[in-house]
A and B are shown apart, each in its own frame.
Chain A
């Protein structure tokens, strides 16, 4: 399969609609998707940091649940999750954080498969919808047999299931994953775990985005992530044609600094300038 049908109705329901609108209405050159580890460094600070995300121009907030075995995360986000876990932060705490934000900005949850499957996909998706979340990203649930139940549960609950493609993903499979994407397609920019990267991103992003978008048969937004941490990276993402730039580790690192809210604000201002805002 190399082309995909343009769905007349958005399969991801209200959540997908909201995310699509956020991408369409984002100011500047591309949407800013800002990741936070929920409850890091503690619940109250996390709440303030997330508020700063909204004020700092995040178009979509991606909220992580601290997890014991995050296989796709690099040392900074892993350590942040461990700190939050040790502080006793739970799934419910993170859902409550999301609920507080969801009037102002679409919120997507990023979490690992076991936390979704433990209560059951249907129950989990409904809890997400009830808490006002618009989407779900599960990095260890690749599109296919493993994800089927979760995708239908999300569709039924009106939550967008947002899949990932990697640089290692073959052409055919990219098309398959793109066809399954609700809300947006998450294009991983590097072979690796989450983390900031050195070296010029512009060299790599063009091909990544082009592959993710395919030959034009799709209108699903493509956001590029893993390794973007400053204005230069954000600018490169937009220049490469991405509809959104996803920033995680750099913001989590800022949230761990002595004055987290100020640090986060500064990073967001830098990113905004890179996005031509």
Chain B
């Protein structure tokens, strides 16, 4: 099929096998060219790398720990290490990319950044980087996601960012990306689009990967330190694919390390309400500037994805993942909503770590699918679950009833106003003793 454009010519790949490319309005091509050229220079530039490295250390808190999760390991009978991206400032891996791209924007002399967000993590990360670097910032977010992730909306606003509600379509991530692209078409001369995942038009998939590969670079060194050898497997959840490609990249040339991406199975692939485009074997199409597997009808209209987790609720995937699947280097499996919700609770209770609902997809697979060939593995814990509390607890209650959290009931010593959903506990102003 279409040959890959050689890396050396333009500084970053435009294609991964047949996937990728730049299917964008003519207006944006010069900006993509400029970005490609800028990154080709900056990624080799010692000054830029030092600036970025210092921020990642002192502002983000890198390196993030690689933590041997003892009770998960006991339960599954192998060593499971968690790469703790949840401990980064702002609570997810997204900040690695956001700071990098905002620095790039600064270097290009662009005073304004825009971004899309699903879970709100990329929005918060970009808002944070924009505050840090004194950039004007607008974040596009579907109103359905604003509902699911209210704390993150408030965070962005507190940080001085404008959150633009997006009303079209299913009001989730796909529409937010489309709206961000439309903004960019009109503002490209003074605005950089901080794409939040390893998808979209070239060079975004390569830039986001380059900025996220620190996850895998660190993890590789850390596991060699801790276990004295490479892991048998590396596991990550896949929305657009940035945390996954970030941790995979360091291991691509280690043929004995299996790479496993976990996609949102939603209500099940057979129902059509999911986002597992790789595991589901969907055909390639064009979305947001890239040729890549995408959910579409037989006429070519793009369909909405479904996932309990806003960060995975995307009907396509980064083009490099599609190529890793086709070449057999990585494998992709689905995990559904209910399983992810239960893993969210299980990991909280086993490890004292509340994982993001996104990461909970990967954790379910590790907890419940036997892996006889694996003795040591790393799971990318891409983010923390605070943002998901309300939505996930509601989901668990729907699944299991009001007792979803009451696995350890003690004799009540008083009225529990939180557990009381019907409001017959203490009312406003009433005393709680």
Query: How far apart sit A272 and B63, CA to CA, in the bound complex (Å)?
Result: 66
Are A173 and B299 in contact (CB-based, < 8 A)?
no
Are B296 and A114 in contact (CB-based, < 8 A)?
yes
Provide the residues of chain B in CB contact with A114, threshold 8 Å: 285-287, 294, 296, 300, 302
B233 at the interface (CB under 8 A from A): no
Q: Mark B168-209, 1 if CB is under 8 A from A, else 0.
A: 110000100010011001111100000000000000000000
B165 at the interface (CB under 8 A from A): no
Query: How far apart sit A193 and B25, CA to CA, in the bound complex (Å)?
Result: 9
Provide the residues of chain B in CB contact with A202, threshold 8 Å: none
Closest-by-CB residue of B relative to A169 is B26
B289 at the interface (CB under 8 A from A): yes
Provide the residues of chain B in CB contact with A73, threshold 8 Å: 182
Q: With A117-B286, A191-B189 in contact, do A68 and B22 touch (Cβ < 8 Å)?
A: no
Provide the residues of chain B in CB contact with A255, threshold 8 Å: none
A87 at the interface (CB under 8 A from B): no
Are B285 and A142 in contact (CB-based, < 8 A)?
no
Interface stretch among B27-35, B80-88, B236-244, B408-416?
A: B27-35
B23 at the interface (CB under 8 A from A): yes
> Which residues 87-138 in A have Cβ within 8 Å of B in the complex?
90-91, 112-119
Q: Within the complex, which residue of A119, A139, A146 is in contact with B300, where a contact is CB–CB below 8 Å?
A: A119
Q: Within the complex, which residue of A71, A118, A164 is in contact with B178, where a contact is CB–CB below 8 Å?
A: A71
Provide the residues of chain A in CB contact with B14, threshold 8 Å: 145
Are A69 and B174 in contact (CB-based, < 8 A)?
yes
> Which residues 252-271 in B have Cβ within 8 Å of A in the complex?
none
Minimal beta-carbon separation of B306 from chain A (angstroms)? 15
Provide the residues of chain A in CB contact with B188, threshold 8 Å: 168, 191
A50 at the interface (CB under 8 A from B): no
Q: Within the complex, which residue of A78, A142, A145 is in contact with B168, where a contact is CB–CB below 8 Å?
A: A78
Closest-by-CB residue of A relative to B304 is A68
Q: Within the complex, which residue of B23, B26, B174 is in contact with A188, where a contact is CB–CB below 8 Å?
A: B26
Are A71 and B27 in contact (CB-based, < 8 A)?
no
Minimal beta-carbon separation of B174 from chain A (angstroms)? 7
B2 at the interface (CB under 8 A from A): yes
B383 at the interface (CB under 8 A from A): no
Are B300 and A191 in contact (CB-based, < 8 A)?
no
Closest-by-CB residue of B relative to A72 is B25
Minimal beta-carbon separation of A76 from chain B (angstroms)? 12
A192 at the interface (CB under 8 A from B): yes
Are A191 and B302 in contact (CB-based, < 8 A)?
no
Closest-by-CB residue of A relative to B289 is A140
Query: How far apart sit A191 and B187, CA to CA, in the bound complex (Å)?
Result: 7
B21 at the interface (CB under 8 A from A): yes
Q: Within the complex, which residue of A71, A74, A116, A170 is in contact with B25, where a contact is CB–CB below 8 Å?
A: A71
B393 at the interface (CB under 8 A from A): no
Are A68 and B26 in contact (CB-based, < 8 A)?
no
Query: How far apart sit A115 and B299, CA to CA, in the bound complex (Å)?
Result: 7
Q: Within the complex, which residue of B168, B182, B189, B291 is in contact with A71, where a contact is CB–CB below 8 Å?
A: B182
Are A145 and B21 in contact (CB-based, < 8 A)?
yes
Are A193 and B185 in contact (CB-based, < 8 A)?
yes
Are A164 and B26 in contact (CB-based, < 8 A)?
yes
Closest-by-CB residue of A relative to B302 is A68
A254 at the interface (CB under 8 A from B): no
Query: How far apart sit A78 and B178, CA to CA, in the bound complex (Å)?
Result: 11
B24 at the interface (CB under 8 A from A): yes
A269 at the interface (CB under 8 A from B): no
Closest-by-CB residue of A relative to B184 is A71
Closest-by-CB residue of A relative to B201 is A140
Are B287 and A69 in contact (CB-based, < 8 A)?
yes
Are B285 and A146 in contact (CB-based, < 8 A)?
no
B301 at the interface (CB under 8 A from A): yes
Are A170 and B30 in contact (CB-based, < 8 A)?
yes
A67 at the interface (CB under 8 A from B): yes
Provide the residues of chain A in CB contact with B287, threshold 8 Å: 69, 114
Provide the residues of chain B in CB contact with A82, threshold 8 Å: 168
Q: Which of B31, B186, B189, B300 has the most CB of A within 10 A?
A: B300
Minimal beta-carbon separation of B339 from chain A (angstroms)? 29
Provide the residues of chain A in CB contact with B181, threshold 8 Å: 71
Are A168 and B31 in contact (CB-based, < 8 A)?
yes
Q: With A140-B289, A191-B186 in contact, do A115 and B300 touch (Cβ < 8 Å)?
A: yes
Q: Told that A68-B303, A140-B23, A145-B5 touch, could you supply 14 new A-B pairs with CB distance under 8 A?
A: A69-B178, A71-B289, A72-B185, A73-B182, A85-B301, A91-B299, A114-B302, A145-B14, A165-B26, A170-B30, A188-B27, A190-B186, A191-B187, A191-B189
Q: Rank and list the top 5 A-B pairs by shortest CB-CB distance, nearest first.
A: A118-B300, A192-B186, A166-B27, A115-B300, A114-B286
Which A residues form the contact surface with B (CB < 8 A)? Answer: 67-69, 71-74, 78, 82, 85, 90-91, 112-119, 139-142, 145-146, 163-170, 173, 177, 188, 190-193
Q: List 21 A-B contacts (CB under 8 A).
A: A71-B178, A71-B181, A72-B25, A72-B27, A73-B182, A113-B286, A117-B286, A118-B296, A139-B25, A140-B23, A145-B2, A146-B23, A168-B27, A169-B27, A190-B186, A191-B187, A192-B185, A192-B186, A193-B182, A193-B185, A193-B186
